[in-house]
């Protein structure tokens, strides 16, 4: 078993409940980690036996372009799309950070983390 991950993917997007967030947008960071058996990829040097992190990036990018209210929902959508492409994954973890959320004080970021299978049992 091994892990394929993308960390610190940066986006400007328009997710949030408040009208200001929908109009101005915000900076977001996405981390994706997947645990899988890529033993054959190590031996055969063939992408078809592992997870293509380009595809992971495209999933994150497409969902970041479609505004939603809640980061929990956004992370869930990403997990579901990853599992559609790679149904045999052992674990999937998506972390989304909203930088400088408008809360009336100094906050570096808010964070939502969704894990499969933990959050789906």
DSSP letter, residue 103: S
Question: What string of DSSP letters covers 13-46?
Answer: E--SSSHHHHHH-EEEEEEEEEEE--HHHHHH--
Q: Output DSSP code: residue 88.
A: T
Residues taking part in catalysis: 98
Total domains in the chain come to 1
Q: What is the pLDDT of residue 104?
A: 85
Compute the 3-state secondary structure of the chain and give helix, strand, coil in percent, each to the nearest 5. 35, 35, 30
| Domain interval for residue 41 | 2-120
What does pTM read for this prediction?
0.94
- Binning pLDDT at 50, 70 and 90, where does residue 121 land? confident
Distances (CA, A) of 8 to 11, 16, 94, 103: 10, 20, 11, 23
CATH number at residue 83: 3.30.1130.10
pLDDT digits (tens, 9 = 90+) for 37-90: 999 999 999 999 999 999 999 999 999 999 999 999 999 999 999 999 999 999
Max distance between CA atoms of the chain, in angstroms, equals: 54
């Amino acid at each position: 078993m091994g892990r394929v991950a993308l960390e610190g993917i940066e986006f400007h997007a328009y997710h949030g409940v408040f009208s200001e967030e929908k109009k101005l947008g915000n900076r977001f960071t996405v981390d994706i980690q997947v645990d899988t058996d890529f033993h054959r990829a190590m031996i055969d040097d063939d992408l078809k036996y592992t997870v293509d992190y380009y595809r992971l990036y495209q999933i994150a990018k497409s969902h970041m372009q479609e505004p939603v209210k809640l980061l929990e929902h956004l992370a869930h959508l990403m997990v579901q799309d990853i599992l559609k492409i790679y149904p045999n994954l052992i674990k999937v973890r998506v972390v989304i950070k909203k930088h400088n959320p408008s809360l009336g004080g100094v906050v570096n970021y808010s964070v939502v983390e969704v894990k499969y299978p933990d959050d789906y049992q």
